[in-house]
Structure 1
Amino acid sequence: MYMGIVVGSVVSTQKAQSLIGKKLMIVQPIDSSKNPVRCEEVSIDTVGAGIGEAVLLVRGAAARISDTKNGPVRNEASDSAIVGIIDRFDK
């Protein structure tokens, strides 16, 4: 699990069947001081995050099976998923 800031969204009319109806967000990974690390990536949003919000992300197998309000959702085509919205950073 790691942290990021949502910096934008992606609109795609042609995509894999498993991504239909899913919101795709552009996320900048950050460290605990909110400094950017690595490059931006596209993540499936499972929690309703908005642009400018700090979020928790998962990759790999954890991203392909994410818990949502409606129960488990299989995201076979995804390698990154937003699974939480960060309220604050306590260091």
Structure 2
Amino acid sequence: MKLARVIGNVVSSVKTESHSHTKLMVVHPIDENNQLIGSSLIAADNSQAGIGDRVLIIEEGGSARQVLKNSTAAVDAVIAGIIDEVRD
């Protein structure tokens, strides 16, 4: 699992069947000091996240599909939760 910030949403007029009714968001990994690290990616949103939210992402296909409760989804990253606070 990784910390990330939602930086945008993906709008698509055509989606694979496993993505229908699934909101896709652009997320960028962050460190514990909220600094951007690495590259941005697209993640399915299972938590009703919005642009600017700090989120917890899972970047592993099997686990992402379990969070979505869809074993056949073509997904390798998912927003698993919205982060309210990070403590030491």
TM-score normalised to structure 2 length? 0.91
Aligned counterpart, 2:86: 89
What residue identity is the alignment partner of 2:56? L
Runs of 4+ residues deviating >2 angstroms: 72-75
> Which secondary structure state, in structure 2, belongs to the residue aligned with residue 66 of structure 1?
helix
Aligned counterpart, 1:77: 74
In the TM superposition, residue 75 of structure 1 has moved relative to its aligned partner by 5.9
In the TM superposition, residue 8 of structure 1 has moved relative to its aligned partner by 0.6
When the two structures are aligned, how many residues end up with a matched partner?
87
User: Superposition pairs for residues 48-59 of structure 1, below 5 Å?
Assistant: 48-59=48-59
More helix by share: 2
- The one-character-per-residue Cα deviations of 1:41-81 (angstroms, maximum 9, x if unpaired) are 000000100110000000221112215xxxx3446211100
Alignment identity in percent? 36
Q: Distance in 2 between matches of 1:42 and 1:25?
A: 6
Aligned counterpart, 2:35: 35
TM-score normalised to structure 1 length? 0.88
Aligned counterpart, 1:19: 19
Q: Distance in 2 between matches of 1:75 and 1:66?
A: 12
- Listed as ranges, the gaps of 5+ residues in structure 1 are none
What residue identity is the alignment partner of 1:26? V
CA RMSD of aligned residues (A): 1.3
Q: Distance in 2 between matches of 1:21 and 1:81?
A: 14
